Chains A and B, each alone.
Chain A
C-alpha cells in the first residue's frame, strides 16, 4: 500500500520563499559592475567567489553573474568578498543600472 500522510501531526512541505520575498529585507542592494566582474571580463567560468560565499544561494554562476533580487537579503558578503571589487552595495531605490 502506498504511504500517505494522515495529517494528524504537524509536517511541512518544501517551497522556495518560506519567509516570503526576503528581498524586501534589504536596505542595500548589490550592484555588479560587469566591466570588472571576472567571468565577464575573461568570458569564461571563473572566480565565482560571490556564489561561493552567498549565505542564501541566490547568485547564479553564469556569464554574466546574476543575483536573484527576489530573495537576496542584501547582507553584502558578495561585495566584501569580490576580489575585483566589482560589486557595490547601493541604497534601495537609487538608480544604479
Chain B
C-alpha cells in the first residue's frame, strides 16, 4: 500500500476548514480528484453540495479556478469554456465539470447528452450521493429502490435507480469510469487517466452521505466499501467501448463472491422501511447487472 499511496501528490488542493459535512464522501473523493486534476484545469460546477464545499464569497477552499453555473447548464458551461479557450488560443487547459446526481441524472441530462454527442473535449464527473442532499435529501432518479427521502417519506422510493452509465455508454465515449472514495488510489488514477484522454470523458463517483443516508460519519469508507463488496456499486472502466472491471471489483469478479445486498442496506437508516419484496427486487437487479457486466468483461 505505501508505494501505491506515495505516488499520490501530498499537496492538498482542497483546503482544510471547508464547509463540507463531517465524513462527507464527496469531500474525500474530491480531495483525490483535485490532486489528479490540479494542473492546467478549469472547473465548472452547478448548484450542489460542491458549491458549498467550494465556499461562500469572498473565499474559496479549492485551489483550482472554477466557474459556477446554473443547475441545468453544467455540461453546456463546460462546452462554452472549451469553445472560449479554443477561440482565444488557450488550448492546453482541461475543462472539468463536476455535478451531483441531480445535476447529472435529472436536470443536467439534456446539456450533458448534448455536450457528449458533440464530442466536447472535457471531463464530466458525477458525484452520486443518490439524492438532493444539498437541499435536504429529496428523491432523485439516482435514489435507489426502497430508500426513504424527504419526498418519499412513507412509501420509500418505488423505482430502481436510473442506469446513467448505460445512457452515457450509448454516447460512444472514449472513456467511462466508475470510482469510489473507498479506493482513493483507484479514483486518483482514473482522473489522471481521464485528463490525458481527448473527447468526452465521464466519471461516476459513488459519494456516501452520512446525514442523507443515515449512518455515522465515521462509516463513510465502510459504507462505500460495502457497496463494492455487495455489487451495489461496481468499479470499472469502459475505454473506447471495451469494458473491464478494476480495483476491488476486479478481484470480486475473479473470485466470484459477492456479499448479499442486505449487508449494505442494514447499515443505513434510509433503507429501514424497505420491504422484503423490495430487498429481493434490488438483489435481483444487482445480480442481473453483475451478469451483464461479466458478459461485457468477457467481450
Alpha-carbon distance A71/B218, docked complex (angstroms): 16
Alpha-carbon distance A25/B57, docked complex (angstroms): 21
A12-B58, A48-B2 in contact; A18/B22 too (CB < 8 A)?
no
Instruction: Map CB proximity to B onto A52-76 as digits: 1 under 8 Å, 0 otherwise.
Output: 1111111001000000101101111
A12: min CB distance to chain B, Å? 4
A22-B221 in contact (CB<8A) = no
Interface residues of B in 1-59 (CB under 8 A from A): 1-2, 5-6, 10, 12, 14-20, 22-25, 27-28, 31, 54-59
State the interface size on chain A (CB cutoff 8 A). Answer: 40
Alpha-carbon distance A45/B3, docked complex (angstroms): 10
**Chain B residues near A52 (CB, 8 Å)?**
5, 184-185
Alpha-carbon distance A76/B218, docked complex (angstroms): 5
B1-A75 in contact (CB<8A) = no
- Stretch of B60-68, B131-139, B142-150 contacting A (4+ beta carbons < 8 Å): B60-68
Looking at the complex, which one of A13, A22, A45, A49 makes contact with B60 (CB distance below 8 Å)? A13
With an 8 A cutoff between CB atoms, is B269 at the interface? no
State the interface size on chain B (CB cutoff 8 A). Answer: 41
Looking at the complex, which one of A68, A73, A80 makes contact with B22 (CB distance below 8 Å)? A73
B59-A12 in contact (CB<8A) = yes
A20: min CB distance to chain B, Å? 7
Instruction: Map CB proximity to B onto A18-29 as digits: 1 under 8 Å, 0 otherwise.
Output: 111110010000
- Where chain A touches its partner, the secondary structure class is loop
With an 8 A cutoff between CB atoms, is B141 at the interface? no
Alpha-carbon distance A79/B221, docked complex (angstroms): 11
Alpha-carbon distance A79/B23, docked complex (angstroms): 12
Nearest residue in A to B216 (C-beta to C-beta)? A76
B20: min CB distance to chain A, Å? 7
B55: min CB distance to chain A, Å? 4
Instruction: Map CB proximity to A onto B188-229 as digits: 1 under 8 Å, 0 otherwise.
Output: 000000000000000000000010000011111110000000
B57-A15 in contact (CB<8A) = no
Looking at the complex, which one of B10, B17, B62 makes contact with A19 (CB distance below 8 Å)? B17
Most A Cβ at <10 Å: residue of B15, B22, B58, B63: B22
With an 8 A cutoff between CB atoms, is A41 at the interface? no
A4: min CB distance to chain B, Å? 15
Most B Cβ at <10 Å: residue of A55, A68, A70: A55
Interface residues of B in 117-159 (CB under 8 A from A): none
Alpha-carbon distance A58/B20, docked complex (angstroms): 14
With an 8 A cutoff between CB atoms, is A16 at the interface? yes
A55-B220, A75-B218, A80-B221 in contact; A68/B58 too (CB < 8 A)?
no
Alpha-carbon distance A25/B24, docked complex (angstroms): 14
With an 8 A cutoff between CB atoms, is A47 at the interface? yes
A10-B57, A77-B23 in contact; A47/B2 too (CB < 8 A)?
yes
Looking at the complex, which one of A47, A71, A89 makes contact with B17 (CB distance below 8 Å)? A71
A77-B15 in contact (CB<8A) = no
Ordered by A's residue number, 8 sampled pairs between the chains whose C-beta atoms are within 8 Å are A19-B17, A21-B17, A54-B28, A55-B27, A57-B12, A71-B17, A75-B210, A76-B217
Interface residues of B (CB under 8 A from A): 1-2, 5-6, 10, 12, 14-20, 22-25, 27-28, 31, 54-63, 181, 184-185, 210, 216-222
**5 A-B pairs closest in CB distance:** A76-B218, A17-B17, A75-B23, A71-B16, A18-B55
